[in-house]
Amino acid sequence: MALNIPGLSGSSSTSGATGAGAVTGTNQMGQEEFLEMLLAEINNQDPLNPQSSSEFVGQLAQITSVENLNSLNSQITGLVSSLQYSQAMQATDLVGKTVTVPMNIMELDNTGTMSGEVQVPVNTDRLQVFVQDANGQVVSSMDFGPQYSGTVPFTTDDLAKGIYSISAVATYGVDNETVPVALSTKVDSVVIPGGGKEIELNLAGIGAMPVSQVSRIGQ
């Protein structure tokens, strides 16, 4: 006589691996209830056809595994919440500071400058940076000449209020290649979405950006 537990089967190891939801809700059974049923099963089994002890042990192992998984899930959830809280507290320290992120478009509320950096992958014969307005017109350009591989900072001058895009071109012999650009701006506020989602920074002139995208932190 087999012991019948709703959602658990002693004859199939697969049900034990995938039956996490089988011991939840109205059919939930703890170890104590299982052991009571197990003792009753043993006491009332047919002495001429006794139940295999391995089946009892297998069913007990299944329910124990499910309970251990539930406990582990709870611990992981708590750990994630703690980590998010810690990251949020660290992120709030960035408010008012200047950060650099991989972005090539920025909106200026007032006349001013734009600064950032170009990442040169390999030594280049010539590096140029171009600033375009919302109409696609080049309003400023910078020629840095030959550059070694690495980070090359740049700053524009006296741009009027508006939206601008930055592009950088590296020359290798007769070939020109676009290379990555990052812009620097102030952190206005921090967004903590919760639910395991990544913390975001509201950046002046750029908008929301995941905190993991920050490549440099200034004053």
> How many structural domains does the chain have?
2
Give the pLDDT score at 14.
41
Same domain? For 81 and 140 the reply is no
pLDDT in tens, 117-158: 999 999 999 999 999 999 999 999 999 999 999 999 999 988
- DSSP letters of 124-150? EEEEEEEEE-TTS-EEEEEEEEEE-SE
User: Distance between CA atoms of 91 and 174, rounded to whole angstroms?
Assistant: 45
Same domain? For 83 and 140 the reply is no
Give the pLDDT score at 125.
96
Same domain? For 81 and 141 the reply is no
- Residues (pLDDT < 50) of the chain are 1-26
Residue 1 counted as domain residue: no
DSSP classification of residue 199: P
Residue 4 counted as domain residue: no
Give the pLDDT score at 41.
67
Residue 180 sits in a domain whose CATH number is 2.60.40.4070
Same domain? For 66 and 121 the reply is no
Same domain? For 29 and 131 the reply is no
Residue 24 counted as domain residue: yes
Mind spelling out the 3-state secondary structure of 10-60? CCCHHHHHHCHHHHCHHHCCCHHHHHHHHHHHHHCCCCCCCCCHHHHHHHH
Residue 8 counted as domain residue: no
Give the pLDDT score at 110.
85
Among the candidates 92, 115, 141, a domain finishes at 92
Q: Tokens 């812009």, residue?
A: 183
Range of the domain at 41: 13-92
Model pTM? Answer: 0.61
